[in-house]
Amino acid sequence: MLPAPAPRIKALRHRACGDNGGVSTTARPAHPELPVLQADCGNCFALCCVALPFAKSNDFAVNKSAGTPCKNLRQDFRCGIHTRLRDQGFQGCTVFDCFGAGQQISQVTFGGRDWRAHPDTRAAMFEAFPVMRQLHELLFYVAEALGLPAAAPVHPALRTALTRTEALTRADAEELTGLDVGTLRQDINPLLLKASELVRAKAPGPRKNHRGADLMGARLAGADLRGANLRGAYLIAADLGRADLRTADLIGADFRDTNLRGADLRDALFLTQAQLNAARGDAATRIPASLTRPSHWQ
């Protein structure tokens, strides 16, 4: 299944804007009927910095409860330590991606009314944001699957799922908070899995199945992982240097501190900017053209 959102913020659950100049680059491929699936922090009321909780850890320097503004949030909804997040102990903020849910809630659902000037919107806005994020994440994966020629047999069903999910993003705040996103995920996941299987079937040689595997610290340098199933795999601090990950399914794979130096991730399936931001790479790491090389990679 697609990974369900964590109840508290982990390293892959805070802000993508940190490493990419305020704009994530995860909207691939383009579908005219979709809302923008990339973060536009300039049109968001800093919802990820307020609505979501995080716990003091290696990823966050302090505890923060849901609905409480981060201590670094300025009055103009910008981060006061944006260029120093990692140095100040907020590296978790650099690897979150809302998939464009922030500006959708801010500018569409609430029509540009911010929670400071209109405090009556606070509770509804903060509750609706995580739901919208899940919808946008699903749209991102479905849109990518529709861009895979080998997955053509499942494209009609994927288009139906795309239309259904996109319509939900236009619901009002009350409708959003009442949505059963878990059921929607269960309906869409088999389609994404079938698309993945159709693409990975064309990979040469045996295709490794590491779905949900505990590969923390694993030594996989130079491994041929073309067409591998790495859905939900724990790759924290694993060594994937120079590994070939083309057409590997990476939905939900945890890349915190994963060594991707020299790895080949071109054509990797369902790879997100947040996963790259969480990993360690270099100039030799090959990534999809639609994603951005994180600024902290050396």
List residues bridging with 249 in a β-sheet. Answer: 229, 269
Cis upstream peptide for 35 (omega within 30°)? no
Question: What per-residue confidence (pLDDT) applies to 91?
Answer: 86
Task: Return the CATH class of domain 205-298.
Answer: mainly beta
Ranges for all domains in the chain classified under CATH 2.160.20.80: 205-298
- 60: its two tokens: 């966050």
DSSP per-residue letters across 130-192: HHHHHHHHHHHHHHHHHT-GGGGGGHHHHHHHHHHHHHHTTS-HHHHHT--HHHHHHHHHHHH
pLDDT of residue 228: 98
Do residues 135 and 187 lie in contact, with contact meaning Cβ atoms separated by under 8 Å? no
Residues 252/2, Cβ–Cβ less than 8 Å: yes
What pLDDT is stored for residue 10 in this prediction?
Answer: 33
Q: What is the pLDDT along the chain (298 residues), one digit of tens a residue?
A: 454 443 333 332 333 354 544 444 344 445 666 788 988 999 999 999 999 999 998 889 999 999 999 999 999 999 999 889 888 999 889 888 999 999 999 999 999 999 999 999 999 999 999 999 999 999 999 999 999 999 999 999 999 999 999 999 999 999 999 999 999 999 999 999 999 999 999 999 889 999 999 999 999 999 999 999 999 999 999 999 999 999 999 999 999 999 999 999 999 999 999 999 999 999 999 999 989 999 889 7
Task: Quote the pTM value.
Answer: 0.88
Q: What is the pLDDT of residue 282?
A: 97
Compute the distance between CA of residue 215 and CA of residue 217 in angstroms, rounded to an integer. Answer: 6
Confidence (pLDDT) at 86: 86
Is the omega angle on the peptide bond into residue 5 within 30 degrees of 0, that is, cis?
Answer: no
* CA-atom Rg of the chain in angstroms: 18
In this prediction, residue 15 carries a pLDDT of: 36
